[in-house]
């Protein structure tokens, strides 16, 4: 999402794009071959194995908290359960999951299955500025950690002091957050 000179409330199209990019990154993180589960995850529940690589777990948790706390408030209620592009990795991968909303890029709106527009919330300006600022800051940290932990000791320290190769898919998804 290109940032204007002043931080403010994102448009519905900007909020959707931001959410779509973060949801794609979460899919890459939670589907990384070294991410371990106690049982196969479903659209509604996932139980993480404590033996998951700590750096991978920490970044996935950090990005998920960014998504849940800073991005989802800009979306219509239930968007991450009703729109495939914004969904959690397991619902997204479930061919039987029923999606109720779809993004209409040409119109710049979410539509329900009947074609009716879905309204986006309007957060108070101060709350919107705080959340956008948090998204930018947390995005910067995520990029630093994922892209530089192998070469920058400060980035490595943020994930426990041990370098971790997140792989090209995750690195590309992180680069796409701009």
Question: How do residues 113-148 score in pLDDT, each as one tens digit?
Answer: 999 999 999 999 999 999 999 999 999 999 999 999
Say if 111 falls within a structural domain.
Answer: yes
Residue 7 lies in a domain: no
Q: Is residue 84 situated within a structural domain? A: yes
Task: Please determine, for residue 8, whether its predicted confidence score (pLDDT) is greater than 90.
Answer: no
Query: Residue 43's pLDDT band (boundaries 50, 70, 90)?
Result: confident
pLDDT at 5 over 80: no
Instruction: Report if residue 2 sits inside a domain.
Output: no
Q: Is 20 exposed, middle or buried (0-12, 13-18, 19+ CB in 10 A)?
A: middle
Mean pLDDT, range 79-88, rounded to an integer: 96
pTM, rounded to two decimals: 0.92
Classify residue 5: in a domain, yes or no: no
Distance CA 178, CA 140 (A): 9
Domains: count for the chain: 1
Whether residue 1 is contained in a domain is answered as: no
Task: For residues 65 and 60, give the distance between their C-alpha atoms in angstroms, rounded to a whole number.
Answer: 9
In the numeric block, the tokens 């049982």 are attached to 39
Is residue 105 assigned to a domain? Answer: yes
Q: What does the radius of gyration of the chain's CA atoms come to, in whole angstroms?
A: 17
Short-list 63, 85, 97, 91, CA closest to 13: 85
Range of the domain at 91: 12-175
């Amino acid at each position: 999402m290109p940032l204007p000179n002043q931080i403010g409330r994102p448009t519905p199209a900007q909020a959707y794009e931001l959410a779509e990019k973060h949801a794609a990154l979460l899919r890459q993180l939670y589907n990384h071959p070294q991410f371990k589960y106690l049982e196969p995850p479903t659209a509604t529940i996932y139980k993480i194995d404590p033996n998951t690589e700590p750096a991978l777990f920490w970044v996935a948790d950090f990005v998920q908290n960014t998504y849940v706390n800073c991005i989802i408030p800009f979306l219509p209620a239930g968007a991450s359960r009703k729109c495939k592009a914004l969904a959690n990795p397991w619902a997204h991968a479930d061919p039987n999951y029923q999606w109720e909303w779809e993004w209409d890029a040409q119109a710049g709106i979410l539509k329900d299955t009947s074609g009716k527009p879905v309204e986006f919330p309007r957060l108070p300006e101060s709350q919107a500025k705080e959340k956008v600022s948090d998204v930018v800051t947390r995005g910067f940290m995520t990029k630093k950690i994922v892209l530089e932990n192998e070469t920058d000791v400060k980035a490595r320290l943020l994930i426990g002091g041990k370098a971790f190769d997140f792989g090209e898919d995750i690195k590309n998804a992180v680069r796409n957050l701009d």
